[in-house]
Amino acid sequence: MHLDGKIPGGPLPQKWERRKFEYALVSPANRRKYRVLVVGTGLAGASCAATLGELGYRVECVIFHDSPRRAHSIAAQGGINAAKNYQNDGDSVQRLFQDTIKGGDYRAREGNVYRLAEVSLRIIDQCVAQGVPFAREYGGKLANRSFGGAQVSRTFYARGQTGQQLLLGAYQALLRQVQAGTVRISPRTEMLDLVVANGKARGIVARDLVTGELRTFVADAVVLATGGYGNAYFLSTYARNSNATAIWRAHRRGAYFANPCFTQIHPTCIPVSGEHQSKLTLMSESLRNDGRIWVPLRAGDERSPEQIPEAERDYYLERRYPSYGNLSPRDVASRAAKAVCDEGRGVGPSGLGVYLDFSDAIRRLGANVIAERYGNLFDMYAEITGEDPYRTPMRIYPAIHYTMGGLWVDYDLMSTIDGLFVTGEANFSDHGANRLGASALMQGLADGYFIAPLAVGSYLARAKPPAVDATHPAFEAARKDTAARIERLLSARGKRTAASFHRELGKLLWDECGMSRNREGLERALARIPEMRERFYREILIPGHGESLNRELETAGRVADYFELAELICRDALHREESCGGHFREEHQTPDGEALRDDEHFAYVAAWEWREGEPPALHKEPLVFEAAPPMQRSYK
Amino acid sequence: MRIALEVWRQRSPEEPGRFVRYETTEASPDMSLLELLDVINEGLVSEGEEPIAFDSDCREGICGTCGFMVNGLAHGPLQGAATCQVYLRSFRDGETLFLEPFRAHAFPLIKDLVINRSALDRIITAGGYVSVNTGNAPEANTSTIPKDLAEQAMDAAACIACGACIAACPNASAALFTGAKITHLGKLPEGQPERGRRALRMVRAAAAEGFGHCTFAGECETACPKSIPLQVITQMNHDYLAARLRGEGRATARHIEPGTPKKRR
């Protein structure tokens, strides 16, 4: 199949305008005749569902959380980018576009990224109008701060809770539509399969997590806004319940999976403390505005940080990347941390950690200013580690945080299945091989408020999907499949929990397909995963039954899908014989250890097609760079 | 360290519940309370027993999914922390902890420590928003908001809808929760047009859900993992009363049946 990104013609700045004009419209009176299903109510889902509701479509939201406000967008801390140039520091749509393309190591589509930068302006307007309490200057105007990978201050923030406040804005807009009668929400209901009837996405099968009942939802178009798949690695900064089942099931029904090996490892997380640990906690990138990262100059230095004199510290980011320093992009900063730890200069009990030190900033600005900027993050750190970051440097280490890969979508955010739209982190589109800080919130809201609602409307106007109901054979078949999958899990009579397998798989992925990858390790992983999966189905045990709240069953279903996904991640990482962004292949690096891209052979999107019983097929969408010609990505 | 748990187990709302004791020596001070429950659950599952059902998601105190009573305190012993942020170093070696669900008439139990808090969504649905469609917004910096006001709005907006305030309140009142949203939006210029209407509708919705009235016991502020100040309740009462006095919420178009004769006074 030829992959057509359907990028509009014409110069970059006019592409989106042109596409909006090309879109077919549904008249206001006819919109209520269409039903749109939105799965997930994070930033990308809630904003999309609310906007579709405002336009007059009948919207059905399906979420596994107990409330739409729980989605993990809520945990985003640092901020949201927008090219407002309020600081008069030379920012522009063009510059945000350039930064994002370069930050993504030239593996994103120019057309999409330019649109994202353009739409960023309107997101801030919309959020302020909703009452999002962004940080303000004394004059009452919006405040900004800096983030990694940029030399301008374009990040808007609400203390360290920007994701929360943006999500609450979208959530409130969504509930306003519930009140208006355009949106209906089914909480504690988890999507377990996509239904494709006559070649078009027409609904889903979902399990009511409280009663265990399998429910079918029929719609004229389906929007997946179900987030990323980083939890395949077990230990990550994702929420415990974030999972890949929705996108994986859609993939198995025909949606191509793009660039699965592009996973983001965030440099500033609290290090792992023990075997029982359930998740990792992020310390916002914004901390790198004022914190300085260092390790002892000498390997095996076990003195406490206060005892190490200035001359015996290595501020390695400032040394290696003088122009961006501590604000180097995430992939670069993570690899640099790994490198110093590999040299034996890591700190903390495990040796897997580096210092993030605020003593200079506290001396310069005073503890009060630092508390005002980062107070809640400092408190969070103190709660978890029992150490006071005002007195002693934080210890941080990289962790899985985001996935740039996801379901392949065209410029209109439609997957390779007609009528299946994918928004936010669940799609692959805008961040290339590495996402810049404060850009996930921007993309989620751009997709949800401003892009998907128009694209979905145009699809409905043109496709005019014929009426179907839940008695259609495709629904029948999907329901049966899902029931059989649940039955298979429940009938296993082993002794182990699904979580223990998840931990085992996650460790394998982290070791062989984490911060750096090589052929040997990836082949090892590809050999071990199928064996592990077989043991999983033999050895798990799920107490209780399927007709009630059963967390073990929920987990087992998700872990079963992670096994298949993990294989695809490794396969993609193995095939991509280059280093770019978050994908670092040890075989491909410059003499000083920087990533070595291969534009000649790999300037494409790798989109994988699921095939039952045989290896997935690779399809390539070539990437063309006209406005931002690829260059060696340097932050030196 | 050794920790014993007395956990409320109840398979369904219809069946009676009871405390069940679990003892473990696998606890360590840098383990969170929820991680201890994970460990206990792994043990239960491998023996074929049903694990303890409890809700949690982000495990960093921001999503509001987790929450139960620990020794009679909502979210446990720490000021400003959600249940997932409680680490075992807060307890003594050998201590027994009693875990039970948040209890309120409007929070029906689902299973063990899991409750249904959708009543909170319905309070927001009644009016906890600014009515602005996507695309309606003017340029962001056209509105000027004094820093102080923005900070106060943010203090109130930090609510995570966990329900601890209600569980801690002797009246099971949702005043802190409702007041927080009313204050957040009421402080900002964008929230002014609907300020009175919002207060009326949200207060009424909370009462209709079966939450009690506020008698200023102040337990909610102590229980709140985001330390939302009691002032939000004052603000709620102010906005509600002001709206009542102004006669807001009564405006309907005057309809006069055609052919109605003049009434002389």
Asked if the Cβ–Cβ distance from B137 to A496 is below 8 Å, we say: no
Asked if the Cβ–Cβ distance from A543 to B139 is below 8 Å, we say: no
- Residues in chain B with CB shorter than 8 Å from the CB of A379 are 80
% of chain B residues with pLDDT over 90:
94
Asked if the Cβ–Cβ distance from A499 to B38 is below 8 Å, we say: yes
Pure H helices in A366-417: 367-385
Active site annotation includes A585: no
∠ Cα A260 A264 A268 (to 5°) = 165
Q: Do B41 and B50 form a contact (C-beta atoms < 8 A)?
A: no
Residue B264: pLDDT over 90:
no
Count other Cβ atoms within 10 Å, centred on residue A624.
11
Asked if the Cβ–Cβ distance from A500 to B42 is below 8 Å, we say: yes
Q: For A204, phi and psi rounded to 5 degrees?
A: -140, 165
Asked if the Cβ–Cβ distance from A126 to B137 is below 8 Å, we say: yes
Q: Can you list the domains of chain A with their CATH numbers?
A: 267-400 (3.90.700.10), 475-598 (1.20.58.100)
Confidence of residue A634 (pLDDT cuts 50, 70, 90): confident
How far does CA A75 lie from the centroid of its chain? 12
Asked if the Cβ–Cβ distance from B137 to A179 is below 8 Å, we say: no
Model pLDDT for residues B21-78, shown as the tens digit of each residue:
999 988 999 999 999 999 999 999 999 999 999 999 999 999 999 999 999 999 999 9
- Among A47, A164, A171, the residue with its CB nearest the CB of B62 is A164
- Residues in chain B with CB shorter than 8 Å from the CB of A239 are 57-59, 63
Asked if the Cβ–Cβ distance from B150 to A135 is below 8 Å, we say: yes
Q: Find the residue in A nearest to B60 (Cα).
A: A281
Question: What is the signed CA dihedral for A484, A231, A332, A381, rounded to 10 degrees?
Answer: 180
Secondary structure of A254-295 in HEC code, one letter for each residue: CCCEECCCCEEEEEEECCCCCCCCCCCCECCHHHHHCCEEEE
Q: How far is CA A546 from CA A218, A268, A485, A620, B176, in A?
A: 23, 40, 11, 41, 38
Please give the Cα distance from A264 to A433 (Å, whole number): 8
Asked if the Cβ–Cβ distance from B158 to A139 is below 8 Å, we say: no
Please give the Cα distance from A77 to A284 (Å, whole number): 6
Distance from CA of B120 to the nearest CA of A (A): 9
Please give the Cα distance from A517 to A507 (Å, whole number): 14
Task: State whether residue B99 is helix, strand or coil.
Answer: strand
- Among B42, B50, B157, the residue with its CB nearest the CB of A499 is B42
Between residues B139 and A1, which one has the greater pLDDT? B139
Asked if the Cβ–Cβ distance from B118 to A500 is below 8 Å, we say: no
Residue B250: pLDDT over 80:
no
Pure H helices in A23-109: 28-31, 43-55, 93-103
Least Cα distance to A68 among B114, B68, B120 occurs for: B120
Secondary structure of A543-601 in HEC code, one letter for each residue: CCCCCCCCHHHHHHHHHHHHHHHHHHHHHHHHHCCCCECCECECCCECCCCCECCCHHH
Q: Find the residue in B nearest to A170 (Cα).
A: B129
Asked if the Cβ–Cβ distance from A133 to B150 is below 8 Å, we say: yes
Q: Between helices A162-180 and B118-125, what is the axis angle to 10°?
A: 70
Token pair 């395949």: residue: A232
- Among A74, A138, A171, the residue with its CB nearest the CB of B62 is A74
Model pLDDT for residues A59-82, shown as the tens digit of each residue:
999 999 999 999 999 999 889 999
Q: Do A404 and A432 form a contact (C-beta atoms < 8 A)?
A: yes
Q: Which helix (H) or strand (E) holds B6?
A: strand B3-9
Q: Out of A31, A107, A288, A330, pick the active-site residue.
A: A330
- Mean pLDDT score, A88-102: 97
- Residues in chain B with CB shorter than 8 Å from the CB of A541 are 45-46, 48
Q: Do A442 and A123 form a contact (C-beta atoms < 8 A)?
A: yes
One-letter amino acid for residue A575 of the chain: H
How far does CA A203 lie from the centroid of its chain? 24
One-letter amino acid for residue A472 of the chain: H
Please give the Cα distance from A214 to B217 (Å, whole number): 45
Q: Which residues contact A167 (CB under 8 A, 6 or more apart)?
A: A42, A43, A46, A69, A71, A73, A74
Q: Find the residue in B nearest to A134 (Cα).
A: B150
Distance from CA of A592 to the nearest CA of B (A): 37
Q: How far is CA B76 from CA A381, A596, B72, B87, B111, in A?
A: 18, 51, 8, 10, 20
Q: Find the residue in A nearest to B87 (Cα).
A: A384
Please give the Cα distance from A103 to A136 (Å, whole number): 28
Distance from CA of A136 to the nearest CA of B (A): 5
Q: Which residues contact A38 (CB under 8 A, 6 or more apart)?
A: A45, A48, A49, A52, A59, A60, A61, A62, A223, A225
- Mean pLDDT score, A128-146: 96
Q: What tokens were used for A534?
A: 């077989």
Q: How far is CA A284 from CA A159, A225, A359, A376, in A?
A: 11, 23, 18, 11
Residue B265: pLDDT over 90:
no
- Among B59, B65, B157, the residue with its CB nearest the CB of A66 is B65
Count other Cβ atoms within 10 Å, centred on residue A485.
17
Residue B248: pLDDT over 90:
no
Distance from CA of A67 to the nearest CA of B (A): 7
Distance from CA of B187 to the nearest CA of A (A): 9
**Interfacial B residues in 91-130 facing A (CB < 8 Å):** 110-111, 114, 116-118, 120-121, 124-130
**Interfacial B residues in 6-35 facing A (CB < 8 Å):** 11-12, 26, 28-32, 34-35
- Among B80, B124, B138, the residue with its CB nearest the CB of A175 is B124
Q: Find the residue in B nearest to A171 (Cα).
A: B129
Q: Do B202 and B126 form a contact (C-beta atoms < 8 A)?
A: yes
- Mean pLDDT score, A600-628: 96
Q: What tokens were used for A399?
A: 């962790």
Q: Which residues contact B137 (CB under 8 A, 6 or more apart)?
A: A122, A125, A126, A128, A129
Q: For B188, phi and psi rounded to 5 degrees?
A: -100, 145
Pure H helices in chain B: 33-46, 118-125, 147-157, 164-168, 175-186, 195-208, 219-223, 231-246
Predicted local distance difference test score (pLDDT) of residue A548: 93
Distance from CA of B265 to the nearest CA of A (A): 41
Residue B251: pLDDT over 70:
no
Q: Find the residue in A nearest to B227 (Cα).
A: A376
- Residues in chain A with CB shorter than 8 Å from the CB of B119 are none
Distance from CA of A289 to the nearest CA of B (A): 21
Count other Cβ atoms within 10 Å, centred on residue B251.
8
- Among B35, B61, B147, the residue with its CB nearest the CB of A278 is B35
Please give the Cα distance from B84 to A383 (Å, whole number): 10
Task: State whether residue A184 is helix, strand or coil.
Answer: strand
> How many contacts, defined by CB atoms under 8 Å, are there between A and B?
215
Residue B249: pLDDT over 80:
no
- Among A69, A128, A549, the residue with its CB nearest the CB of B53 is A549
Task: State whether residue A223 is helix, strand or coil.
Answer: strand
Mean pLDDT of the residues in chain A: 96
Predicted local distance difference test score (pLDDT) of residue A336: 94
Asked if the Cβ–Cβ distance from B158 to A168 is below 8 Å, we say: no
Asked if the Cβ–Cβ distance from A131 to B26 is below 8 Å, we say: no
- Residues in chain A with CB shorter than 8 Å from the CB of B81 are 383
Predicted local distance difference test score (pLDDT) of residue A619: 98
Q: Can you list the domains of chain B with their CATH numbers?
A: 3-111 (3.10.20.30), 119-246 (1.10.1060.10)
Q: Do B85 and B32 form a contact (C-beta atoms < 8 A)?
A: yes
**Interfacial B residues in 158-177 facing A (CB < 8 Å):** 158, 160-161
End-to-end CA distance of chain A, in Å? 41
Any A CB within 8 A of B1 CB: no
Q: Find the residue in B nearest to A136 (Cα).
A: B147
- Residues in chain A with CB shorter than 8 Å from the CB of B101 are none
In the DSSP assignment, the letter for residue A68 is G
Q: Find the residue in A nearest to B122 (Cα).
A: A175
Least Cα distance to A490 among A499, A478, A498 occurs for: A498
- Mean pLDDT score, A454-469: 97
One-letter amino acid for residue A185 of the chain: I
Model pLDDT for residues A157-188, shown as the tens digit of each residue:
998 899 999 999 999 999 999 999 999 999 99
Please give the Cα distance from B157 to B152 (Å, whole number): 9
Please give the Cα distance from A174 to A168 (Å, whole number): 9
Residue A288: pLDDT over 70:
yes
- Mean pLDDT score, A122-138: 97
- How many residues in chain A? 636
One-letter amino acid for residue A570 of the chain: C
Asked if the Cβ–Cβ distance from A172 to B61 is below 8 Å, we say: no
